[in-house]
Amino acid sequence: MAAGRPGRQGDTRARSKEINMTDAQILDVAIVGYGPVGQSLSILLGERGYRVAAFDRWPTLYPLPRAVFHDHEIRRVFHAMGIGADVAAISQPSATYQWFNAEWKTLVEIDWSAESISDGPVGYLFNQPMLEGLLDGKARSLPTVEVNQGWEATALVQHADHCEVQLRHGAIQDGQWVPDGPTRTVRARYVIGADGANSFVRKSVAIGQDDLGFQEDWLVIDVKPNPGVTLDVPDIGQWCNPARPTTMVPGGPGYRRWEFMRLPHETIEDLQQPGKVWELLSPWVNAGNATLVRYAVYKFRSLLARQWRQGRVLLAGDAAHLMPPFMGQGMCSGIRDAWNLAWRLHLLLRGIATDDLLDSYTPERLPQVRAVIDASIEMGKVVCIADPEAAARRDAAFLSGQVPPLPPFPGLTGGVVSTDFGTTGIAGLLGVHGQVEDEGPKGKHVARFDDQVANGFQVIALDADPGEYIDAESAALLARLGASTLGVTTDPSKVRPRRVLRDVSGRYARFFAEHGARVIVVRPDYYVYGGVSDPAQLPALLRKLGEQLALATAPMQRQAA
């Protein structure tokens, strides 16, 4: 693997300013780790006005590609951060994900180009350094967010009302991070460990991990084809060839990635020779028509933290889970963690909910991630077969149709969801998203639902204004939560400006009909809390929501700074 992240020496005066700004106050949240997960959480909390400081031991952003895929749900999160258009400019919609045997016969096709529930294709390919640059720029633009690079966390202590994190500064010398003298202590009401697979935060609070049994070494190679070069390679696919299992994917616009499994007789050192790299690439690309961006051997593993909260400390991203890459869900799962934490911390930091609300973080996120890891492992077992006889048996099973399709992507099965009100399987699903038409002072306009309606809790009724079904107690709860209430309809006669919007594509009508719902309650992370088949049940559903949110009996009158 690469020896370390390149960096630069920090300016002492700048570091002194950081210390004066941050260390004299109690932050709302300190985030240890500033990859895509730490960046996303910094943005999601900073946009709500909370005092956030992010720390990372490396002096600069990591400049080389790692993740290359994000799905439709994460694209919605990027839109919520206000960078959707920018992300679209550095990514491309996915094609169909194809799996081939050694003779290039198709074993599996997963249509990642198909229309998703989020009003766009299932997946997108991107270049991670470009994405991190966008996230970093957005985080630094927020006045209550401080980004502190070159600081390594060395101690973490929890107190009754805050945590203390001790840090030391370092720099890159000869490709390695080394401490260079300055230390500091910061205080924060909550600490989030988004500091990767070897998480200091996880270890500091003695949270154990379960090894789910997958471990393989793969050589990952990123190249940039020369202008005008067209490569004869599947757009996105797995070549399940026992002679050399191989992955081929775009690395974002203008880039390509290959991944080659280490065979039993090879060493890691064998794979990391430049001559070996070009030998493996030679069927598709060579030094005359492409530039080698990087290559490194990674150990694909499956690890899961047993709990993701310990007091005022929470885990997110690789600190909480590692998975094989065959579903492209590693980074996606980490950003889901940040997205899930953001709305919980928002209710806590505003004094609306008690910190009991954090108790449901692990029950929500862990089962969903475990299901994704299990599916990724099963996919890996299909790909990572180096024995020709075993591969022949696999091929026969797939080509004869004996292997069932992959299950649908998992929703939420625990935590803040409700299944008691007559609908079918809607609670815990990712909510539908589409184009809606509203009418304002300048006339009718069509836009994304997420752009038309403020992020937060939403009560959405079919063919009606849900306000018709809300009693005084429910109205008080919704006002306390800052929730939105509105209807959607395909019937032009039922449209009411700013109250009942036209469902342009009929997506909402189909979603409601599929699950027998008349009204649904959607959480700030776009997951459906629950639905009712009889609108008269809506007040009861909302009462249950209030109970599950662990609302404070005497909410503080604290406003975010």
**pLDDT tens-digit map of 3-19:** 334 333 334 334 434 44
Contacts of 519 (CB under 8 A, 6+ apart): 459, 460, 461, 462, 466, 469, 531, 532, 535, 538, 541
- Is the distance from CB of 73 to CB of 118 less than 8 angstroms? yes
**Calpha distance 149→59 (Å, rounded):** 5
**Looking at the domain assignment, is residue 266 inside a domain?**
no
pLDDT in tens, 445-454: 999 999 999 9
- Looking at the structure, tell me whether residues 355 and 476 fall in a common domain: no
Q: Which of 333, 363, 393 is the last residue of a domain?
A: 363
Whether the per-residue pLDDT at 366 is higher than 60: the answer is yes
User: Are the C-beta atoms of 519 and 460 separated by less than 8 Å?
Assistant: yes
Same domain, 451 and 358: no
Does the pLDDT at position 176 exceed 90? no
71 and 205 belong to one structural domain: yes
Is 146 within the bounds of a domain? yes
Output the pLDDT for position 557.
Answer: 46
- Same domain? For 449 and 329 the reply is no
Confidence of residue 441 (pLDDT cuts 50, 70, 90): confident
**63 is a domain residue:** yes
148-160 tens-digit pLDDT: 999 999 999 999 9
What pLDDT, on a 0 to 100 scale, did the predictor assign at position 22?
64
In a domain, 141, yes or no: yes
| 168 & 59 share domain | yes
Integer Cα distance of 83 and 94 in angstroms: 19
**pLDDT (0 to 100) of residue 536:** 96
- DSSP letters for 310-362: ETTEEE-GGGTEE--GGGS-HHHHHHHHHHHHHHHHHHHHTTSB-GGGGGGHH
The CATH code of the domain that includes 62 is 3.50.50.60
Single pTM value for the model: 0.93
Q: Is 401 helix (H, G, I), strand (E, B) or coil?
A: coil
Q: Are residues 51 and 159 in the same domain?
A: yes
Q: Are residues 348 and 453 in the same domain?
A: no
For residue 457, the enclosing domain spans 435-548
Please tell me the predicted confidence (pLDDT) of residue 21.
Answer: 54
Nearest-10 crossing angle of helices 330-349, 361-383: 180
Confidence band of 58 (pLDDT split at 50, 70, 90): very high
Domain-located, residue 250: no
| Residue 206: per-residue pLDDT | 97
462/344 same-domain check: no
pLDDT range class, residue 489, cuts 50, 70, 90: very high
Contact 324, 380 (CB under 8 A): yes
Residues 340 and 194 in one domain: yes
pLDDT > 90 in the chain, percent: 88
Question: In 171-288, where does DSSP find H-type helix?
Answer: 200-204, 268-271, 274-281
| Dist CA 24 CA 11 (whole Å) | 20
> Any bridge partners for residue 31, and if so which?
54, 192
Residue at which a domain ends, from 348, 363, 378 = 363
Domain end call among 337, 363, 389: 363
Distance of CA 144 to the CA centre of its chain: 23
Residues 210-237 pLDDT 10s: 999 999 999 999 999 999 999 999 999 9
What is the tally of structural domains in the chain? 2
Query: 443 versus 100: which is more confidently predicted?
Result: 100
**Considering the domain boundaries, does residue 96 fall inside one?**
no
Give the pLDDT score at 3.
35
**Residue 256 belongs to some domain of the structure:** no
Query: Binning pLDDT at 50, 70 and 90, where does residue 419 land?
Result: confident
Asked if the model's pLDDT at residue 414 lies above 50, the reply is yes
The CATH number of whichever domain residue 518 belongs to comes to 3.40.30.120
Beta strands 52-56 and 26-32 are parallel
Answer yes or no: do 356 and 442 share one domain: no
User: Is 222 domain-assigned?
Assistant: no
